């Protein structure tokens, strides 16, 4: 029997892309043949970065991954229902990261709704790695807005972009 390609979708706003996101991307891409990272429009969240900027940021971060065990990774914007996007990608599963019990409550409800929309697409949950469990894009933006150091939560390139959005120079770049 021929092996079929396993395709997953990892959706999010990625505003900004954090080390936690990258951990889930890398781990998910190790178990899937193709991982499509769906960058959601989600204007209701009032994103710091435009959709195009977020897609570019995720693509730049994915380009830094150097692991022979990971499958193909694509980054695409979407502005539809998640299940519609997943169907268009011929996905077998939706990949979601869980940090805490509060994430589970929300994701449990979403998984139930999505299963009603398309029961053929599985929802796979990956627990956040211990060192990334507390990282949330919302908190990264709040710390940066108040002048705090975000370099342990995001890559240097993302830290630079976030600090530029708040009109500040990247402190790490000044010291180099």
* 99 is an active site residue: yes
Phi/psi of residue 54, nearest 5 degrees: -70, -40
- Token duo for residue 85: 């996007």
How would DSSP label each residue in 16-85?
Answer: S--HHHHHHHHHHHHH-SEEEEEEE--GGG--SS-HHHHHHHHHHHHHT---TT--EEEEEEE-S-HHHH
Rg (CA), the chain: 16
Catalytic residue (choose from 45, 131, 138, 168): 45
Catalytic residue (choose from 34, 96, 137, 161): 137
* 45 is an active site residue: yes
Chain position carrying tokens 């891409």: 29
Catalytic residue (choose from 6, 76, 99, 129): 99
The residues annotated as belonging to the active site are: 21, 45, 99, 137
């Amino acid at each position: 029997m021929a092996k079929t390609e396993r395709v997953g979708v990892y959706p999010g706003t990625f505003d900004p892309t954090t080390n936690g996101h990258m951990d889930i991307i890398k781990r998910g891409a190790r178990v899937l043949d193709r991982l499509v990272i769906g960058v959601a429009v989600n204007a209701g969240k009032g994103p710091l970065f435009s959709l195009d900027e977020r897609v570019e940021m995720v693509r730049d971060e994915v380009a830094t991954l150097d692991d022979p065990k990971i499958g193909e990774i694509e980054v695409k914007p979407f502005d539809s229902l998640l299940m519609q996007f997943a169907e268009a990608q011929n996905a077998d599963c939706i990949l979601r990261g869980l940090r805490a019990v509060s994430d589970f409550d929300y994701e449990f409800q979403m998984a139930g709704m999505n299963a009603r929309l398309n029961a053929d697409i599985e929802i796979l949950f990956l627990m956040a790695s211990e060192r990334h469990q507390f990282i949330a894009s919302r908190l990264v933006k709040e710390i940066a807005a108040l002048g705090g150091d975000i370099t342990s939560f995001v890559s240097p390139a993302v830290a630079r972009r976030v600090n530029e959005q708040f009109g500040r120079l990247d402190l790490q770049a000044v010291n180099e």
